[in-house]
Structure 1
């Protein structure tokens, strides 16, 4: 599991991005459970995620409507299968409107460019 924090803020909202290899739906759920064992991530406003698996894509918006699809599209373009990416947001008190999708893209791009 790789976690990147402190690289992106917007109008008080703070972002983190994490990811790692998973082979199936159960692996994705295990990854999310492990991430949310960290109190900071369990208390986040949103943990949106997506993964491309052999039996089809999985995604979850976690209340950030449309964000899972943004992540999924980026994974498809990258051709990255069997690797979950989670974008975490701590709401800062100001609604971001459509900019929230740009921030999700920024977070995923950061992950893809910096992962090990």
Structure 2
């Protein structure tokens, strides 16, 4: 598991991105469970994630950040990254970000793909 914390800050919201190998829906659930054992991530407003499974296709979870999982799926598809989960974590800062939140999800995923893979 690789975690990149504090990569984006906007109007009080803070973002982190993490990821690692993942070959099944059960492994995805286990990854999120392990991530949330860290108190900071458990208290996050959103832990949006996605993974492209070689055998089953994409699975995702927005965790309340509507549309974020699909943004991650599209980026993984574009890069051809399979069997690797990417989680974008957001701590809400009190101000709505509107469409900028999607830009921040993309930036976080790009940071992960460029740094970790």
How would you bin the TM-score normalised by the shorter chain? over 0.9
> 2 CA distance for matches of 1:55 and 1:67?
20
Computed over aligned residues only, the root mean square deviation of the Cα atoms, in angstroms, reads 0.7
In structure 2, the gaps of 5 or more residues are none
Classify the secondary structure of the residue corresponding to 2:49. Answer: strand
Cα offset, 1:7, TM superposition: 1.6
Classify the secondary structure of the residue corresponding to 2:66. Answer: coil
Classify the secondary structure of the residue corresponding to 1:57. Answer: strand
Per the normalisation by structure 1, the TM-score is 0.98
Counterpart in 2 of 1:67?
68
> 1 CA distance for matches of 2:7 and 2:92?
15
In structure 1, the gaps of 5 or more residues are none
Counterpart in 1 of 2:40?
40
What does residue range 6-45 of structure 1 map to in structure 2 within 5 Å?
6-45=6-45
Task: Write out the 4+ residue segments of structure 1 that deviate beyond 4 Å after TM superposition.
Answer: none
> 1 CA distance for matches of 2:9 and 2:41?
16
> 1 CA distance for matches of 2:50 and 2:6?
21
Classify the secondary structure of the residue corresponding to 1:81. Answer: coil
The answer to whether structure 1 residue 89 and structure 2 residue 90 are counterparts is yes
> 2 CA distance for matches of 1:51 and 1:96?
25
